[in-house]
Amino acid sequence: MLCVKTRLGPSTIEGVGLFAAEPISKGTVVWRYDPRFDLSLDMRDIPASDTIAREWLMRYGYQPDEEPVYVVCGDNARFMNHSDDPNCDDLNDETIALRDIAAGEEITCDYARFDKRFAESRFAVGWA
């Protein structure tokens, strides 16, 4: 769940992005996994014929380990875009600001730090 005030807006990275609604100081927890809001969904429970649900899960979720279980952020954190030079880092179910982030700046992270599929393919959407 997001721990800072944010807004959505057009992104120069891709489509919609997550932006700081107020300044965020270096070291601030930006997002924290919270099972009350964030979903863990097992791809094996979704029929192969339900391609729309599977595609949605793979686009907006991330796969933290070898199991085909995807985590979907229950808030707008799912619109945080990837950057090779991110302003946040992901450690142990938390996203931390790596530096001061200005109000209006897009909040970014390196998907490879927490998404097994992205780390292997460097591609955010694998429709397999």
| Domains of the chain with CATH codes | 6-121 (2.170.270.10)
Do residues 87 and 99 touch, judged by C-beta distance below 8 A? yes
Which residues make beta-bridge pairs with 109? Answer: 82
Contact 109, 95 (CB under 8 A): yes
pTM listed for this prediction: 0.86
What is the pLDDT at residue 128? 37
Mean pLDDT of the region 4-26: 97
SS3 for 80-92 is: CEECCCCCEEEEC
- Dump pLDDT digits (tens) for 47-74: 999 999 999 998 888 999 889 999 999 9
